[in-house]
Structure 1
Amino acid sequence: MGQASGALARPAINRQSLKRLETHFIAPEIYRREDVAERQAKLARIVSNEIVPRLLMLHTEAVPAAPPVALVIKTLAPTSADITGLADIVLGSDLDAAAAYVLMLRDRGLSMETLFLELLEPTARVLGEMWDRDECDFIDVTLGVARLQKLLAIFNDTHILTSLDERRHVLMAMTPGNQHSFGVKIVERFLLAAGWQVRTELEGTSDDIADVANNTWFAVVGLTAGSERQLESMRTTIARIRRESRNQTVGIMVGGPMFTANPALAQDVGADATAPNAPSAVIVAQKLFDLAASEFRDSARR
């Protein structure tokens, strides 16, 4: 968890550039939905009546003087109310309000890594759960996830790296032996709607998948497994990808029921991250992209 800091500058968000950011992170056919205005008006009323009072309540909270460390951690960490509050806001259309919300939590002393793990990714997970319960449709969730992507890029300063705009390529593949393609196709659908260029491989051996990664540059590779019986195959596939990928800093994310039950398995098979559902997979992919972009930026400065 990041150290508490003094006054933190608000990330620079040029309002005139928000339109470009919106269309960069959302597929055009999604952004041009005819009833967007009507939906945004409805969500604006929700924000006004429910979220703003919640923000005011959070703003007045104070950490007791010299509390125990465990209490500090509990007080600083994003709560379930913080997560659902951000979910409500990103379902609206005010990116500036969403950025202010994240900044308010960062001002508590949280690092961006903590905010990603405990706020942005969980918020995407909540959006996916809302979609599962038919509380909002695919377009609503896509717009919300795209705005979470923008928040992550803004706070990580990758939204200004125009040279990387066309490098948001992801390879989605099924681990050899996995016969269930539904999950891969759902993740593919959300990635495409969120502005990623996606190649999907539903068949093939570890060698075949590694060959695809060797022949084409990908920022991220996503693999799914349907059961623990496929973990060894996944481990082998990931090792081959890392060894042969054209992008030697490729980010690798994994998914499947065993990773949802035990996220630590992702590290065991050699992956960088895991995501419990399709909307959160989009945010994890953006995080991995941002890490690579940061390395690219740092190397260019040397």
Structure 2
Amino acid sequence: MGRAARVAMPVVDRRGLERLETHFVSPEVYRRDDVAVRQARLAEVVAERIIPQLLRLHSDILPDAPPVELVVEALAPSSADISGLAHIVLGSDLEAAVSYVLVLRDRGLSLETLFVELLEPAARYLGQLWDKDECDFIDVTLGVARLQKLLATFNGSHMLPGLDNRRQVLMAMTPGDQHSFGASMVRRFLEGAGWDVTSAFDRSAAEIAKAASAQWYAVAGLTVGSERSLPALEETIRLIRRESRNQMIGVMVGGPVFTANPALALEVGADGTAANAPTAVLMAQKLFDEIALKIAD
């Protein structure tokens, strides 16, 4: 073994983080009179319990130039790290969280690994807090919006010019489905996280595809209520991809069928699925970033 080296802390642009806040969080959220009180209360908990837990990763001692696989294994987020990050983004100080994801990036962690092992589970955890009434809609909206910011910081898409007005989503239900609650909830969280959302509920597959052709959308989100609607969903996705003004459009799907079997998302032609509304926001950002990086090239 070579001489051990202490992990270097990345430099975090605090002013940049503050500017990004207005990009990834809807202005309506900040108009709430109690936002400052919420953040102060949560920040106190974060400072006392959560930040020390995450910062221990920054002082790990690792051998010189170990294989990337060993580094990723050593840094694999635990359930405590996931819940810790979730509480960090509920507070008002993101510097520790940004440092954390940048350290992971600099050590060779891929975007996909970061998403699957840390950010998506953290968003799912926020959704669970909301389901248990331990956090309300505003708390979770702020948290998931900041997870978006971490994702964009990790891959650098937030620095690409001319993309601010392209964070647009087309939300629809699979033709024939009657229950719009799930899709409506996803829309609420997307809007709270700074997305421009157009709804195409109660439309035929052809009408949904026409909407996708009428305006540039980065992402299309579709919900499905049951397995018997999967053929209609697959046909709708096919038409969206054929007719979309954005030929690189990302497609995400959601519903109990995909919660039980996430692999079905690829089988019906989608790019990914989300277990709940907060994770749908993060999935939309992931798909947006992939498109943004392609446009930049």
User: Considering the TM-score relative to the shorter chain, is it more than 0.5?
Assistant: yes
Query: Partner of 1:3 in structure 2?
Result: none
Query: Partner of 1:119 in structure 2?
Result: 118
Name the SS of the counterpart of 2:198 in structure 1.
strand
Query: Partner of 2:146 in structure 1?
Result: 147
- Identity percentage over the alignment? 64
User: CA contact under 8 A between 1:124 and 1:280: conserved in structure 2?
Assistant: yes
User: CA contact under 8 A between 1:172 and 1:198: conserved in structure 2?
Assistant: yes
Q: CA deviation at 1:36?
A: 2.0
State how far apart, in whole Å, the 2-side matches of 1:12 and 1:173 are: 41
Change in 2 beyond 3 A, CA 1:63/1:79: farther
Query: Partner of 1:55 in structure 2?
Result: 54
Change in 2 beyond 3 A, CA 1:18/1:205: same
State how far apart, in whole Å, the 1-side matches of 2:296 and 2:276 are: 30
Q: CA deviation at 1:7?
A: 9.8
The ranges of structure 1 where at least 4 consecutive aligned residues each deviate by more than 3 angstroms after the TM superposition are 6-14, 56-65, 69-76, 104-109
User: CA contact under 8 A between 1:76 and 1:108: conserved in structure 2?
Assistant: no
Bigger Cα displacement from structure 2, 259-268 vs 30-39: 30-39
State how far apart, in whole Å, the 2-side matches of 1:264 and 1:219 are: 22
State how far apart, in whole Å, the 2-side matches of 1:64 and 1:163 are: 42
Query: Partner of 2:21 in structure 1?
Result: 22
User: CA contact under 8 A between 1:11 and 1:155: conserved in structure 2?
Assistant: no
User: CA contact under 8 A between 2:55 and 2:100: conserved in structure 1?
Assistant: no
Let me know the Cα RMSD of the aligned residues: 2.6
- Is 2:26 the partner of 1:37? no
Tell me the amino acid that sits aligned with residue 95 of structure 1.
Answer: L
Q: Normalization by structure 1: what TM-score?
A: 0.89
Name the SS of the counterpart of 1:199 in structure 2.
strand
User: CA contact under 8 A between 1:173 and 1:222: conserved in structure 2?
Assistant: yes
State how far apart, in whole Å, the 2-side matches of 1:9 and 1:280 are: 31
Change in 2 beyond 3 A, CA 1:209/1:162: same
Q: CA deviation at 1:58?
A: 4.0
Name the SS of the counterpart of 1:140 in structure 2.
helix
Tell me the amino acid that sits aligned with residue 40 of structure 1.
Answer: Q
Q: CA deviation at 1:103?
A: 2.6
Q: CA deviation at 1:64?
A: 9.3
Structure 2 unpaired stretches of 5+: none
Name the SS of the counterpart of 1:173 in structure 2.
strand
User: CA contact under 8 A between 1:27 and 1:194: conserved in structure 2?
Assistant: yes
User: CA contact under 8 A between 2:7 and 2:58: conserved in structure 1?
Assistant: no
Structure 1 unpaired stretches of 5+: 1-5
Equivalences, count: 293
Q: Normalization by structure 2: what TM-score?
A: 0.90
User: CA contact under 8 A between 1:131 and 1:141: conserved in structure 2?
Assistant: yes
State how far apart, in whole Å, the 1-side matches of 2:131 and 2:176 are: 27
Q: CA deviation at 1:70?
A: 9.5
User: CA contact under 8 A between 1:228 and 1:258: conserved in structure 2?
Assistant: yes
Query: Partner of 2:86 in structure 1?
Result: 87
